[in-house]
Amino acid sequence: MRFELTDDQVDFRDAVRGLLADRCGPEAVRAAWDGDGRVRPAWDALAEMGVLGALVPEAAGGLGRDDEDVIPLLVECGRVALPDPVGPSAYAAATALGSLLEVPGAAEVAAAWSERVAAGDVVLPVVDPSAPVAGAGTAAAILWCVPSAAGPQVLLADADAVELESLDSVDGARRPARVSVLGGEVVAEGDAAAGIAAATADRLALGAAAELVGLSERMLELTVGYVGERKQFGVPVGSFQAVKHQLADAALAVAFAGPLVSMAAHSLATGDADASRHVSMAKLRASTAARHAAGAALQCHGAIGYTVEYDLHLFMKRAWALSYEHGDPDAHRSRLRASLGLTGSSTN
């Protein structure tokens, strides 16, 4: 029994933390608002370090790692509010492509796309066609995990076979679009497709949960730093119990969300039968904790937090968006109700 990262996982995470600290400071996120929603120096460095191919099998040019190795890296991406789609492309899509390597007839195209993902091309999964997809404008391909009238299917559609309806997000770095596919290659059908779609939905949700944990920690660090310096009535505002208690409660919520995220990663990596339940627990608590942290951070900052000149909003808006993406708290509670055998159907 050991509920902790291995030394190797810690080293990998620390290397990524260092890389992102250098290449994805708040000014880089601001530049992504003004540009195409990407921080290329960070993205390219992640490709070079092997992070974007971490889940790609070694035979296809990747590192052959698993969920447990990569989830801590996504926490780091959240910590710096990296807008680039590490979770959707290098985690969820890369794992799905890895599964497709085993599907008869799909192996060749899956191997080719796996290599491209590892090299830095973006493949974005779509499991819910009604939901906006962040960063869709820079995707090289869409992995369309949406059933057709004939049943479950997975399509791989090049960017030129995709139609995008661009939208504006509260988070200017996300650049979402509603996506539809005009063609593409069917790479899986039937049970194989249904399995890949479900696993991909879980990994999209867990990736967002991991980023939310990092965002939450960052918002609290920023706030603790600020209330330690900001003086009113002749003392730091952080010396007031009203401020301390808000931040302690938020820190508590975040601290107890982290282990659920780690557990879900372990369950997905080991193929645990309860993995989807664990993912919902993780996404539910990561979302509620992030909203809690964002609220406390804004309130404890006071007016300076309510500006776009100060950095807090970069993290807060990302947290809002991710808390709705891939299942908001109500959606995951609903999944958990079903998983625990509760209908909650009484209207009395």
Contacts of another protein in 262-291 (CB under 8 A):
262-263, 266, 281, 284-285
For another protein, give the closer residue by CB, 148 or 270.
270
Residue among 151 and 259 whose Cβ is closer to another protein: 259
251 binds another protein (CB under 8 A): yes
Q: Could you say which DSSP state residue 129 is in? A: T
Q: By CB under 8 A, which span of 20-28, 50-58, 172-180, 330-338 interacts with another protein?
A: 330-338
CB of 196 to another protein, least distance (A): 25
Binders of another protein among residues 188 to 247 (CB under 8 A) are: none
Rule CB under 8 A: choose which of 178, 230, 244, 337 binds another protein.
337
Return the H-helix or E-strand segment holding 275: helix 275-301
Q: Considering beta carbons, is residue 119 or 338 the nearer one to another protein?
A: 338
Q: Which is nearer to another protein, 281 or 294 (CB)?
A: 281
Nearer to another protein, 3 or 233 (CB): 3
We find the least distance from the C-beta atom of residue 333 to another protein, in angstroms, to be 5
d(CA 215, CA 309): 18
C-beta neighbour count of 312 within 10 angstroms: 22
Give me the count of residues in the chain. Answer: 348
Cα distance between the two ends of the chain: 45
CA 139, 50, 319, 38 torsion-angle sign:
negative
Min separation Cβ 212 and another protein, Å: 15
- One-letter identity of residue 26: P
Say which amino acid occupies 310.
Answer: Y
**Which amino acid, one-letter code, is at 300?**
C
Q: Quick one: which of 8, 170, 256, 304 contacts another protein (CB under 8 A)? A: 256
Residue count at the site for another protein (CB under 8 A)?
Answer: 34
Which one of the spans 73-81, 153-161, 250-258, 320-328 is the region binding another protein (CB under 8 A)?
Answer: 250-258
Question: Cβ(100)–Cβ(141) under 8 Å?
Answer: no
Amino acid identity at 236: P
Tokens of residue 296, six digits: 């406390």
Site for another protein in 49-108 (CB under 8 A): 68
Q: Does 158 bind another protein (CB under 8 A)?
A: no
> Could you tell me which stretch among 15-23, 139-147, 179-187, 333-341 binds another protein (CB under 8 A)?
333-341
Separation of alpha carbons 94 and 174, rounded Å = 20
- What is the distance of C-alpha 216 from the center of its chain? 13
Least separation in angstroms between CB 300 and another protein: 18
Three-class SS state of 236: strand
- Restricting to residues 2-21, name those near another protein by CB under 8 A: 2-6
Phi, psi of 346, deg, nearest 5: -70, 140
Q: Give the C-alpha separation, 14 to 231, whole Å.
A: 34
DSSP 192-232: HHHHHHHHHHHHHHHHHHHHHHHHHHHHHHHHHHHHHH-EE
DSSP 181: E
Rounded distance between C-alpha atoms, residue 69 and residue 265, angstroms: 9
Q: Which residue stretch of 174-182, 199-207, 256-264, 309-317 sits at the interface with another protein (rule: CB under 8 A)?
A: 256-264
From 259, 306, 307, 308, residue interacting with another protein (rule: CB under 8 A): 259
User: Judged by CB, which is closer to another protein: 119, or 255?
Assistant: 255
User: Using CB under 8 A as the criterion, which residues of the chain lie in contact with another protein when the complex forms?
Assistant: 1-6, 68, 248, 251-252, 255-257, 259-260, 262-263, 266, 281, 284-285, 330, 333, 336-337, 340-348
